[in-house]
Structure 1
Amino acid sequence: MHDNLDSLPSLNENYELSLEQISSYQRNGHILLRGVADQEEIAVYEPIISDWVQKLNGHDKPVEERDTYGKAFIQVGNLWEKSEAAARFTLAKRFAKIAADLMGVDGVRLYHDQALFKEPGGGHTPWHQDQIYWPFDTDKTITLWMPLVPISEQVGSMTFASESQKIGYINKMVISDESHRTLGQYIEGKGFEKMNYGAMAAGDVTFHSGWTLHSAPGNPTETMRKVMTIIYFADGIRIAEPDSNARKADLAAWLPGQSPGDAAGSRLNPLLYSRV
């Protein structure tokens, strides 16, 4: 499929952000942007990504027999390494520039991509902070979350706890029933406003900060919720000493050959956009 890479949409054209959108993201820790990829672009890239997810799906048990994390989604990372066509999507300059603009930085590198496909009957994604998994000591991280198919109000966007990113590191809890309960109580206690953007079209995106608390509902529909995510960090940040097994595992997986104190940027972390 798509041996001719020249026929793939480049995804390099600029998506203009307003100052209001940038300040809203910096205040709340999340934002919805409509139509970041158009329908023709999605029509080309969705089958490519879906095909690879199907090939690389590691689940061998039906949904109802898995643990909470396993029920939440089919998860496939670094698709861009497996396929030049998928790499066109993950490494797209258009998406990377939005990430840099929202964070207010001069350049961004790829941390990794992840397809997160929530099956029909798939469970909820518990409350968590992404960055407890990442060996970085910075708030300059951001995730793009793009549905490749329309998602209904029932499934919706993720739910975000607005301004929770300002607190930074809350606790080390990995995604679990315990994190859902404990962080849910924390959100209530702090009085954070919860925001869900509802239905999204294929090609709409949310961006959220690495520290923003978020969760996602289950999938009660008959169709697969197909989402592609791309995680970026600001160019020039340093790797922190990993203080948990999750962060040690991430350092080995996504920053191969690098050590604490190094400027993050292994062969798996290309510079995707730079203003300078």
Structure 2
Amino acid sequence: MKVAVVLNQSAGTLMGMPIERATDAVRQAFQRNGAEVEVVATQAAGCGEAVRRAAESDAEVLVVGGGDGTILTGANAAMKAGKALGVLPLGTMNLLARDLNTPMDWPDAVHAVAAGDLRPIDVGEVNGEVFLNASVLGLYPRIIQERDAHQHRFGLRKWPAMALAVAKALRDFPVLDVYIDLGQGARRVRTPVLAVSNNPYAEGYGPVLRRTTLESGQFGVYLARHRDTWGLLRLIARMSTGSWQSDGDLETLSAATLTVHSRRRHLRVANDGEVRRFTPPLVYRMRAGGLRMLVPKAPPER
């Protein structure tokens, strides 16, 4: 099996690590598992081009190491080229890698993916653009843009900038006025946050929500009905205790298709943390089994 690996050396896990040490570890892990491998490390600015070149090579599998945005770039390239994708978690959240049961420790992740199996997972799509984790409207894309602006303007690090952005968004509390249609007719909703996840979230706790399957062929659709900042803060508190799905102001739905209509000319949407502007209507479609993944082997059944 031929494998092409691209590492985003600007990602947090690799910062402070000699890059030759990282590339050697990846190369040796895949070679031990019988693969013919090429490994490239690049700064964030050149990552997209490096991923494109790797996808267009004669490799059968494209492996991308980085955060969720880099992984999404890899998924787009792999799907366009008709190749399988592997992910090495190097970012902050590493949402897809967690749901594939990839170890978060760097050496363990490299060994697990290199020795992994191929299997298909679902991919979400909105107006022709894919996402692997979630597509979010309302407060979240605004927060991301505010965070990026604070980083650029004041030179802040990611998390202090994020804290300021969250505080501003919660203070202003903008409400989205849209119509949603899950195939049974459109209805109007007013919400600060509308989230569409690629496969529903499981009940759990903490800031990183988990999915127990990536093969159900269904979106999870989450509508916040909270009317003020305190209501959203209550939801966040319930997330930390694992009782967020019992929040009476959170509507939880599932569907294989979803259309969002709006009178606005454009809607801001965060796909896997990357903000895009779309012209409504937003048409969500599920590509069931649309991406082959190189994933860690499942633990043996007892």
| Structure-1-length-normalised TM-score | 0.25
Quick one: higher RCO (CA 8 Å, sep 6+), 1 or 2? 1
Q: Which has the higher strand share?
A: 2
**TM-score with structure 2 length normalisation?**
0.23
